[in-house]
Amino acid sequence: MKFRRKFSRDVKLAAVQQLEAGSSAAEVARAFEINPNVLHRWRKEFRHGPGNAF
């Protein structure tokens, strides 16, 4: 049975920053061992309000 992992705000910000810097979603997702859909959700949250994202 799989369990849901929890990522710290710092990890989420690092992933989103790599994505914003021009890395592909597939590369970043592979590096952080997450699904690309999760990465896109994090980026959407960040763009909506960077100060209070995550």
Does residue 2 sit within a domain?
A: no
| pLDDT on residue 45 | 95
Does residue 42 sit within a domain?
A: yes
DSSP for 9-30, written as a single string? HHHHHHHHHHHHTT--HHHHHH
* pLDDT for 18 beyond 90: yes
Q: Which tokens in the block code for residue 2?
A: 């799989």
Task: Please provide the average confidence, as pLDDT, over all residues in the chain.
Answer: 94
* pLDDT for 38 beyond 90: yes
Does residue 41 sit within a domain?
A: yes
Does residue 30 sit within a domain?
A: yes
Does residue 3 sit within a domain?
A: no
- Confidence class of residue 1 from pLDDT cuts 50, 70 and 90? confident
- What is the pTM (predicted TM-score) of this model? 0.86
- Tally of domains within the chain: 1
